[in-house]
Structure 1
């Protein structure tokens, strides 16, 4: 009995302190100093002031842009303080409000007052749309679930007490991502709907430009579109291809002198996106720099093995030329706190692109398959402006039929497809090893839904007119046009790693289409930015197309509304993550990681993804519990046998 009791006690103690069953917050954050306090605060949610400013006087634009950058810097500083004061928060339940959120509100109030003054100084009317936006809130999670990084109350995800900067054991960044940000793509139900038919007037041509994948390491943490003139305005690192002189201080004149990495030297356009890092403990060149390690963006930078850039047409009519210096941002770098309305990046794996597209999950691809990021930019332009105050309302997505509403004009739609060789993440005991993630604002916790892409159109030598003519006439033009993509079958989980990386999933149809936004272009309700979906297009892939007639697209389409294929984590409907190759855990039957039930965004109804199951947690499942508790079971048997032996001995004597 004593021996059995000892086994039970030892096993209960081990289960309470090790990963997995009964895991504690201390173990989920091995660094020990950043564990989540009782309040469960994981990050700071501040209203996005910039999205409310839709009509900034041109004379006040530079001052307003600088003030908006100051607001971002204030949030970063507040989040850094949040992450560095976990012990104080544990000792004082009011610490977050009194020491972090209260002072932040005061600072934001001052900035918004200056923004109003900037309007008035140039004869404008102070915007009332930003009234009441100074107050930020603490995004919380259920402390009892922090250990596994699972969904907490309010539908938010716990970070297990993760803070900004540095790394925990095993190379995992202490600012995220967490296990629930990943999903085994082989367990997700197909969610890519069939594409619609094109009309007789459709512009079905394509124009491909080859600009490389930033092998020369052209990086900075600026964002000349959102925060011109402000160093580190993005607070995260970008890859740049195309124009080679793009930073916070660039101008239109600079772009014309910048040179290009594109094969066509008349394409001086700037294409840039957040870098992807693998969190394997490796530090990169910016480990001690602003926008890098100082702001939680840690790990080895991965260069895309393929960066395919293509312009495609409209399914309902001809396109017109983009104006020179047109700026477009697709996706939302703050979507984790803003919500999914403007999210528009898609994640998949080679061999699965015409079956599964994800917005709020990083896919875990099987052996022989590569990670794919896909973007389809807005393809409707207001016909007048190269930018707008909130960088959204001058462009929009097409409606359900592919039409541009409200007087907007169809322009060539920029599509991009980035392919990465990513070491396969492994989920063990509710923790993710070998995690990968995009760079982002630190308070966004490296969520996949925050992925985004930026573009400045700078074509010279009549190149844009050539692009338009090619697309409208139904031809395949540009570098690599008309090449036949490889036909790659879907890899199986045990497929050889020598599969064709980056090949498209074949020409068998089933291409991805889009649901439209219901918001009319040119309006900006609640930061919606004139649309929340991608366009219906006959050619939304960035890969070269087959030039046979009738045209057959060789790669999947990018969906539109809602742009989040799986409901964003902020909505509390994360898909379950199944243990991967190398995991000690076996997946239990019936717990497939199908994408949760779609929640329509403001942009329109979600397309049905078929019968789907609610997400199932993997930590604490029966198989896992049995693995951890077999010593306790053995001890219990010994205790029972000892008791029986004592009773029989008592009767005998």
Structure 2
């Protein structure tokens, strides 16, 4: 009976802990959905798979770090903090119908103990400090996950994960901490899921020298800790502790719960835009905060989605950041039912 009581109160205890933890947590709406990737495939249009991009509207196909400063070049940002012109992007989740056609899974903002965030697609971004941290520098970029990975055992579930969200709305908290035993590497395939929450947690230890690396990962390392706790102690090879960046996405699968719509061959109904499952989930990050605003935000323990005068942070209303959009650079129709996944040639309507 004692264990049952403890199990019942643990989610509430976690919710209270997260609600009291000081961190930035804010909404970023979709800037554009297109096949570009200036981190992995700079200069290429119609890259191997589709991305949803959020943040500063200076985002382009190349984003050369030597000349490209999003903080200076962006005229608007689709994120709620005015000073954040960074770009954040992920793969897109598709539903595969039994007739072979595909459609993008819609998204909603996240709820939870810290309050509801309002998004027009996109994702929620967290910057979680653990003690004294050093903010990223101009030109910094990194990648978490691997877009070609098909082996779930190669993914640390405490860093990249998916949760079956059984609540009918995103405002009712489901489960405990991000990427815990309630989560899986694979994308859940269960009609009980109303939404699928995707979490991507980036490493928190930097080598202190390189703003990027050939694989976009080697200049960074995960600390000894797991989960969304700000990161643990750093290895001597990567001694500089940086804020823990976390993406959280809510994919609304409510309209796809009818198994009669699912592929008859038993294949998974939900896949990412690489036509692969959760093992290939990944996130790209390109720093673009104005001046030293992120460092000041961390030093002054700025909190959640609120203006922070001590760091000079100001916020926009949803109508403002939702209005920050960019025309596709790789122009193709990615809305509605598609005859096939947009891979290779341009997408074809069903």
**TM-score bin (small chain):** 0.5 to 0.7
Distance 1:434 1:394 in 2: 35
More helix by share: 1
Which residue in the other structure is 2:105 paired with? 302
CA contact 1:276–1:439 (8 Å) conserved in 2: yes
More strand by share: 2
CA contact 1:221–1:232 (8 Å) conserved in 2: yes
Which residue in the other structure is 2:335 paired with? none
User: 1:430: how far off?
Assistant: 7.0
Q: Please tell me whether residue 409 in structure 1 is matched to residue 226 in structure 2.
A: no
Distance 2:99 2:141 in 1: 35
CA contact 1:207–1:470 (8 Å) conserved in 2: no
Distance 1:321 1:429 in 2: 46
Q: Are the structure 2 counterparts of residues 276 and 461 from structure 1 closer, same or farther at C-alpha, using a change threshold of 3 Å?
A: same
Q: Please tell me whether residue 205 in structure 1 is matched to residue 40 in structure 2.
A: no
User: 1:403: how far off?
Assistant: 0.2
Q: Please tell me whether residue 311 in structure 1 is matched to residue 127 in structure 2.
A: yes
Q: TM-score, normalised by structure 2?
A: 0.64
Which residue in the other structure is 1:478 paired with? 305
User: 1:251: how far off?
Assistant: 2.9
User: 1:210: how far off?
Assistant: 2.4
Unaligned runs of at least 5 residues, structure 2: 1-6, 12-20, 110-122, 166-173, 226-230, 309-350
Distance 2:80 2:243 in 1: 20
Which residue in the other structure is 1:436 paired with? 270
Alignment of 1:51-62 (within 5 A): none
Distance 1:384 1:282 in 2: 51
Distance 2:153 2:52 in 1: 25
User: 1:221: how far off?
Assistant: 1.3
Q: Are the structure 2 counterparts of residues 390 and 461 from structure 1 closer, same or farther at C-alpha, using a change threshold of 3 Å?
A: closer
Q: Please tell me whether residue 320 in structure 1 is matched to residue 134 in structure 2.
A: yes
Q: Are the structure 2 counterparts of residues 339 and 356 from structure 1 closer, same or farther at C-alpha, using a change threshold of 3 Å?
A: closer
Distance 2:153 2:45 in 1: 27
Which residue in the other structure is 1:273 paired with? 90
Which protein, 1 or 2, shows the higher relative CO under an 8 Å CA cutoff with sep ≥ 6? 2
Q: TM-score, normalised by structure 1?
A: 0.35
The runs of 4+ residues in structure 1 deviating greater than 6 Å are 427-430
Q: Please tell me whether residue 230 in structure 1 is matched to residue 44 in structure 2.
A: yes
User: 1:265: how far off?
Assistant: 2.0
Distance 1:429 1:463 in 2: 48
Point out the structure with max Rg over C-alpha: 1
SS in 1 for 2:295: helix
CA contact 2:152–2:185 (8 Å) conserved in 1: no
Q: Are the structure 2 counterparts of residues 409 and 363 from structure 1 closer, same or farther at C-alpha, using a change threshold of 3 Å?
A: farther
Alignment of 1:186-265 (within 5 A): 205-212=22-29, 214=30, 218-233=32-47, 235-252=48-65, 253=68, 255=70, 256-258=72-74, 259-265=76-82
Query: What does the per-residue CA deviation read over 1:417-437, in whole Å, with 9 as the maximum and x for residues that have no partner?
Result: 111210226388974489121
CA contact 1:267–1:458 (8 Å) conserved in 2: yes
Unaligned runs of at least 5 residues, structure 1: 1-189, 195-203, 284-297, 482-653
Q: Please tell me whether residue 333 in structure 1 is matched to residue 147 in structure 2.
A: yes
RMSD of aligned alpha carbons: 3.3
CA contact 1:319–1:412 (8 Å) conserved in 2: yes
Q: Are the structure 2 counterparts of residues 358 and 470 from structure 1 closer, same or farther at C-alpha, using a change threshold of 3 Å?
A: farther
CA contact 2:189–2:270 (8 Å) conserved in 1: no
Distance 2:138 2:189 in 1: 36
